[in-house]
């Protein structure tokens, strides 16, 4: 009977094309929502799917239709309780017209339109402002890189994976167990037969021996044939399973100046900067710990919430943060076990004379243990014009520039908008790409 067709295994997601077109359509609103969630989400949660609400403006589907409030409408309703013909009922104020209010065509009324962006869609939009090269985007979006690992042996496999040693060992054991005559034994018998045959006039005893030896040789040859040298049973192949990348740990230090001069915009940029580094680190390490150090004239380790949202007043002593980081590294993160990364964001202010102290701390203590130290100075849009040259700037900037010259894994950058963030990490990503190629 051909009435029934099982379609359950047909490809799903027939609507993916439509969904893509829809998201393109509400791109602006989605972007705004994503930007908003950068502010509200924790750094760790950045690469998750997320709910997005867009106003219905751009996605209305207008049609000519009657206005339910104008003119004269006649309506039929079910479930009459006490009305009689001729009853007059006062309309509720606001003109909602107490009767059979019809939902709008799309069934959602005037409400905003909410839907969930997948992780990939979310990251795509997050990356948009950062102007990342495609290859980098790809690396960041890959969920896990897996390498094949040896995982014992198997009886099936490709010839290239043949484990010769194990196969031969199995064969040897089997040959011993089944008492397969060795070639040496056969050779010896042959030699003996040859010797006996050489004798011109053999005695009866010798003749008997020759006959027996021949029979023995035949028997051995038969055995050799029956018990093969290598049997398919003996063959073993190396077995590989895909395993995630090595179980390495990294710690990421987020350092930020939280004195009053850091406003919403500055913190927002700083957060994107931290997020990007974190995203990158989670790609490369199984476990990434975050340490947040904020500082004014003194530094303290805080949780993420406090880091971004609490306010504190005071002067600005950058070296206090570096000092704090040094202490934490010594106490908890031995460089032998941990890969240490640091990201520092500031508006460039520092109290006079402190910058040389920073330099000294970095050169003597921190840079030798850090894999990478990235510093961004967040400046106002207008400042970009007269701070074109890296050669001028605040005392802190100049000090850090010197450090950068001494240490190739120290990067500094002034940024005024999200697009400036990526260059700070450029080398980090380039290196990641290289390693991936070698791997």
Partner 1 sequence: MADSKLIFEGTDWTFEKLDRAYEAIEQVATKELRLDCFPNQIEIISAEQMLDAYSSVGMPLMYRHWSFGKHFIQHERMYRKGARGLAFEIVINSNPCVSYCLEENTMALQALVMAHAAFGHNHFFKNNHLFRQWTDPDGILDYLDYARGFIARCEERHGERQVERTLDSAHALMSAGVFRHRRPPDLSASEEKRRAIERFKAQEEAVDYLLDTFERPQTAAPVPDAASERRRRMHLPEENLLFFLEHHSPILEPWQREILGIVRNVAQYFYPQKQTQIMNEGCATFTHFYIMHRLHEDGRIDDGAMFEILHNHANVLTQPDFDDPRYSGINPYTLGFGMMRDIKRICTEPEDEDRAWFPEIAGCGDWLGVLTEAWANYRDESFIQQFLSPRLMRELKLFALTDDAADRYVTVDAIHDEQGYERVRDALARSRDVSINEPDIQLVDADLMGDRVLRIRHFRRDGIPLEDADRTATLAHVRRLWGYDVVLE
Q: Pick from 36, 39, 91, 332: which binds partner 1 (CB under 8 A)? A: 91
x/- map, 47-86, partner 1, by CB under 8 A: ------------xxxxxxxxxxxxxxxxxxxxxxx-xxxx
Q: Which is nearer to partner 1, 78 or 246 (CB)?
A: 78
Q: Which is nearer to partner 1, 61 or 382 (CB)?
A: 61
Nearest to 291 by CA among 258, 260, 335, 321: 321
Would you count residue 136 as binding partner 1 (CB under 8 A)? no
Nearest to 268 by CA among 126, 59, 407: 126
Q: Which is nearer to partner 1, 15 or 206 (CB)?
A: 15
In angstroms, give the least distance from the CB of 118 to partner 1: 12
In angstroms, give the least distance from the CB of 109 to partner 1: 12
**Which residues between 27 and 46 bind partner 1 (CB under 8 A)?**
none
Nearest to 238 by CA among 328, 157, 319, 146: 157
Candidates 105-113, 190-198, 229-237, 287-295 — which segment interacts with partner 1 by CB under 8 A? 105-113
In angstroms, give the least distance from the CB of 51 to partner 1: 10
CA distances from 152 to 145, 148, 163, 231, 260 (A): 21, 12, 10, 20, 60
Q: Pick from 29, 49, 94, 97: which binds partner 1 (CB under 8 A)? A: 97
Residue given tokens 């450090």 in the structure block: 403
Would you count residue 1 as binding partner 1 (CB under 8 A)? yes
C-beta separation of 51 from 115 below 8 A: yes
DSSP code, position 15: T
Would you count residue 94 as binding partner 1 (CB under 8 A)? no
Would you count residue 23 as binding partner 1 (CB under 8 A)? yes
Q: Pick from 15, 138, 154, 356: which binds partner 1 (CB under 8 A)? A: 15
Structure tokens at 435: 């390693």
* Number of amino acids touching partner 1 (CB under 8 A): 66
Phi, psi of 379 (to 5 degrees): -120, 165
C-beta separation of 113 from 56 below 8 A: yes
In order, the DSSP letters of 23-40 are HHHTHHHHHHHHHHHHHH
Q: What residues contact residue 265 under an 8 Å CB cut-off, 6+ apart? A: 378
Nearest to 236 by CA among 154, 165, 151, 159: 154
Would you count residue 110 as binding partner 1 (CB under 8 A)? no
Q: Pick from 40, 44, 55, 99: which binds partner 1 (CB under 8 A)? A: 99
Q: Which residues pair with 413 in a beta bridge?
A: 376
Q: Which is nearer to partner 1, 87 or 381 (CB)?
A: 87
Rg of the chain in Å (alpha carbons)? 39
Q: Which is nearer to partner 1, 27 or 166 (CB)?
A: 27
In angstroms, give the least distance from the CB of 264 to partner 1: 32
Residues binding partner 1 (CB under 8 A): 1, 3-8, 10, 12-15, 17-25, 59-81, 83-91, 97-100, 102-103, 106-108, 113-116
């Amino acid at each position: 009977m051909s009435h029934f067709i099982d379609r359950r295994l047909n490809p799903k997601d027939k609507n993916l094309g439509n969904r893509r077109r829809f998201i393109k359509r509400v791109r602006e609103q989605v972007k705004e929502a994503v930007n908003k969630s950068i502010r509200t989400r924790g750094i760790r949660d950045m690469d998750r799917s997320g709910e997005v609400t867009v106003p219905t403006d751009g996605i209305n589907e207008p049609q000519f239709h009657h206005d339910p409030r104008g003119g004269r409408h006649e309506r039929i309703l079910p479930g009459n309780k006490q009305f009689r013909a001729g009853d007059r009922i006062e309309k509720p104020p606001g003109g909602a017209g107490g009767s059979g209010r019809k939902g709008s065509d799309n069934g959602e009324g005037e409400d905003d339109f909410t839907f969930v962006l997948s992780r990939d869609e979310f990251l795509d939009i997050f990356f948009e402002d950062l102007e990342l090269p495609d290859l980098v985007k790809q690396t960041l979006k890959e969920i896990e890189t897996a390498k094949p690992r040896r995982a014992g042996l198997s009886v099936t496999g490709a010839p290239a994976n043949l484990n010769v040693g194990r196969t031969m060992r199995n064969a040897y054991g089997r040959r011993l167990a089944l008492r397969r005559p060795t070639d040496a034994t056969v050779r010896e018998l042959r030699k003996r037969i040859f010797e006996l045959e050489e004798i011109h006039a053999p005695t009866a005893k010798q003749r008997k021996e020759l006959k027996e030896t021949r029979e023995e040789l035949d028997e051995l040859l038969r055995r050799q044939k029956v018990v093969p040298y290598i049997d398919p049973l003996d063959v073993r192949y190396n077995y590989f399973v895909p395993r995630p990348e090595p179980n390495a740990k990294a710690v990421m230090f987020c350092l930020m100046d939280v004195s009053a001069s850091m406003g919403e915009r500055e913190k927002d940029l700083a957060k994107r900067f931290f997020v990007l580094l974190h995203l990158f680190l989670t790609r490369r390490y199984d476990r990434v710990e975050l340490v947040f150090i904020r500082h004014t004239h003194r530094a303290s380790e805080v949780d993420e919430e406090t880091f971004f949202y609490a306010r504190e007043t005071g002067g600005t002593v950058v070296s206090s943060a570096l000092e704090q980081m040094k202490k934490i590294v010594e106490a908890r993160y031995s460089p032998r076990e941990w890969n240490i990364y640091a990201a520092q964001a500031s508006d460039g202010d520092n109290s006079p004379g402190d910058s040389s102290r920073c330099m000294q701390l970095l050169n003597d203590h921190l840079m030798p243990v850090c894999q990478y130290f990235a510093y961004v100075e967040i400046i106002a849009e207008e400042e970009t014009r007269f701070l074109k040259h890296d050669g001028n700037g605040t005392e802190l900037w100049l000090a850090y520039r010197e450090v950068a010259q001494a240490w190739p894994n120290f990067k500094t950058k002034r940024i005024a908008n999200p697009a400036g963030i990526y260059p700070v990490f450029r080398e980090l990503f380039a290196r990641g790409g290289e390693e991936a190629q070698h791997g």
